[in-house]
Amino acid sequence: MPTLPLYQIDAFTDRVFRGNPAAVVPLEHWLPEATLQAIAAENNLAETAFFVPRGDGYHIRWFTPKQEVVLCGHATLASAHVILRHLAPTLARVEFTSLSGLLSVTHTPEGYTLDFPRFEFEPVPLPPPVVAEALGVTPIEVFKVTVDPNYYAVLSSEATVRNLTPNLSLLETLHPFGVVVTARGTTHDMVSRYFAPSYAIPEDPTTGSIHCALAPYWASKIGRTSLTAFQASERGGSMRCELRGNRVFLTGSAVQYMEGRISIEG
């Protein structure tokens, strides 16, 4: 019976049961897309990452339980952890080609640093009324990113972000947009939470990709290009963000929870 390696890595944390769990499935060659999607649905995590060797690096793809996405930070970090820990332990850096272009991850004394694209954000003077209705609060402002479709609602305080209980059924009607809520932090420069129920992700524990927009937004408000971030989900996760031109560098840790094999034929 054909089997595939499977790793489960908790990303943006140095402790198991925290941060964001990602499934990682290294492949020798691409399987049919329906099989990749079925594996992601079976794993039932926010993201399953698949990668195949390409040149001196790898080609990576990410699937939620419902569909493929254009970028995923925590599953890229998790994939780099698997490669640099198990598959190519003599390396300190790995490059990925992806739907979002060239990405790289470097292992440093601080953890892993992801080199990601910077997302430009667009103010939304008249956001869909369902955003405020679903959140149960009126945002200070709302902006959006279309390349990785999300609305970003800026709230008045960290406490408001932490105490939010959104109406997920209403948020689901915004598909393909998810919704990020964010505020200035008390012990970190920024805090956030992320809801994407239409992708089968009611709340993502810690999300690298949204910080490709959060970092430049808060940098413009705070006046610094190096920022600390905390995602205030139940599991929680943190990272350091640094702007360098049109790139955002995200630094965080990862820890392995599980290693096994999966069967793809019954």
Q: Which residues are catalytic?
A: 47
238 to 50, 216, 249: CA distances (angstroms): 24, 17, 13
Distance CA 148, CA 141 (A): 19
Helix (H, G, I), strand (E, B) or coil at 83: helix
Distance CA 23, CA 72 (A): 12
The answer for 236, left when phi > 0, alpha when psi is -120 to 50, beta otherwise, is left
Largest alpha-carbon pair distance within the chain? Answer: 57
Torsion (CA) 88, 235, 249, 120 in degrees, nearest 10: 130
Tokens read off for 166: 């959104």
